[in-house]
Chain A
C-alpha cells in the first residue's frame, strides 16, 4: 500500500510503514535542512536516530528526526 505526503507542498510517495526520511531519500530528496552557521545541506546520516542530522518539521512540529518519524497519509513536511 502506498500514499502521499507533501514536502514544501510538493507530493512525495510513501510505502506504508516508511519513515519520513526514507520516503524523502527514496524520492531523491537527500537534504532538507541547512546548518545554522554555514548553511550546509543535511539529510540522512546514521539512519537510526543518533546523529540528529536529519531534523525536519512535520505538521508544524519542529526538530523531528526524519529517520524515526513514521510517515502518515497527508503529512506536511517543511524543510528549512
Chain B
C-alpha cells in the first residue's frame, strides 16, 4: 500500500514528540499543521525567531531532528479523516489557496490541541475583549500586546503566564481576577505540586510590575461602544454570585475559563470519548495512547487538558506505541515504566488543577436578557431560555429551536455555555468538517500525494 506509516495532525509539543519518536523508530512519517511554524500553542513564536520558555531548547532540537526524518506539511489544514479497509485517509487543504488533496496512512495520531473556553458576559463581544489564549497568541506569535491597559480574568493557572507575559512586554496589567481560589497566590496548587519555580516566577513577575492578583473576583461585564473602555469587576461568593462590584478602566480584556480539547477528527472516526474532570469531552485512550478505533491514536490536549509537558510525554508514548503496533500487530505495552509513571504523575496534577479551578454556576446570573451567548448567530440568552420554556431540555434541542452553535464557529465558542445553561455536561461535538471548506475547494478535490 502507498502512503505513510503515520500521519500526525498537529505540530505542538504532542505532535512533534510523537512524529519524532515514530520516525526515529524507522517509520515513514508526515506531520500536518494548519500554522506556518511548528510550536502549537505553548511554543508559538514569531516568524524568524525561536520558541522560548521552559523546555524550548529541547523542542527546538526535536524540530531540527524531525525536519530531516519526516515530511512536514505546514500551512496545511486537515478538514476530515476517514477510515478505509487497511488505511486512514486524511483530507487536507494546502496553503492560502486551499488546494485540496488526500494522504493515506497506516496509522493516524491526533494531536490537535485545545482552544479557549470562554463564558459569556454582558459586553463580551466588544472589540478589545479577547480570550486569554488569544491575547497570549497575539503576543507570543505576533509581538502585539492586546492593549495598553489590560485586565486579565477567568479561572485557572493559565491566567498567570498571560498576565506575566503582558506585564513583561510593558503593558499595564490592571489586575488578574481569578474567580476561584480563596487561597490566593501564596498557596497556589502549582506550589503544592512541586512546580514552585513556575508559580514563584509568575508571582514575582506580577509583583515586580505591581499587578494585583485577586481571587474570588471576575470581570462580569465589559462596557464601551466600538471598543471596550472599562469593565465591571465583581467580588464573588463561592458559587460566583456577585457580592459587590467596581469599575476598572482598560482598553483590552483577556478572559478564559479553561480550554476545550479539539476532538472533531477523533469523533469523525468514531473514537470513544469520555469526560475529564473539567467536564470536557475527551478522547478515551489506553496507556499507549490508543483510541478505541484501530490504527488511531491521540495525544496532548485531545485526551484531556494537561499542559505542554504532559502533551510532549503523551506524544512520545504514542510514537513508541505506534512503532510497536505496526511492527508486531496491536496490543502489548512498549512504553518504558519511567515514562508511564511520569505520565501518571502529570495526569494526577492536571486533574488536581481542574478540580481546583471548576466553573461555578453563578456566572449565569451575570447575563442580561440581551447578552449574546452565540456570537455567530447572535443568539441572546433570552432566546435560549425561551427554547427551554418550549420544552428543549438539552443542548441539541436548544440548538434546533434557537440556533446557537449553527454559525461559522459551529458551537466551538458557545457550546460549553449552552450545555451549562441546559444543565448538562457538554457532549462530544459532531462536526463532519473540522475546517471550513469552500464549495470551489470541494469541486477541486483530487487524489494526489504532495511532493
Contacts and interface: CB of A to CB of B under 8 A. Distances in A.
B155 to A, nearest CB: 18
Given A25-B138, A50-B413, A51-B412, A30 B378 contact: no
Contacts of A15: 143
Contact of B378 (A38, A41, A45, A51): A38
Given A17-B46, A31-B226, A45 B130 contact: yes
Interface in A27-61: 30-31, 35-38, 40-53, 55
Nearest to B134: A47
B34 A49 contact: yes
A44 B130 contact: yes
How many chain A residues sit at the interface, stated as a range, is 20 to 34
A30 B34 CA distance: 24
B134 A25 contact: no
Contacts of B127: 30-31, 41-44
A46 B116 CA distance: 7
Contact of B138 (A36, A42, A47, A68): A47
Nearest to B376: A52
A25 B116 CA distance: 20
B113 to A, nearest CB: 9
Contacts of B227: 30-31, 41
Contact of A17 (B48, B96, B133, B134): B48
A19 B136 CA distance: 15
Interface string B128-142: 111101111110011
A41 B48 contact: no
Given A41-B226, A47-B138, A52-B407, A70 B36 contact: yes
B119 to A, nearest CB: 13
Contacts of B128: 30, 43
A50 B116 CA distance: 9
Contacts of A68: 34
Contacts of B409: 50-52
27 contacts: A15-B143, A18-B47, A18-B142, A22-B141, A22-B142, A26-B144, A30-B127, A30-B226, A31-B127, A31-B226, A36-B378, A38-B378, A42-B125, A42-B127, A43-B128, A44-B127, A44-B134, A44-B138, A46-B116, A46-B131, A46-B134, A47-B130, A47-B133, A48-B41, A51-B375, A51-B409, A52-B407
Given A41-B226, A47-B138, 15 more contacts: A18-B47, A19-B142, A22-B142, A25-B146, A26-B144, A31-B226, A35-B378, A41-B126, A42-B127, A44-B127, A44-B130, A47-B137, A48-B134, A49-B34, A52-B376
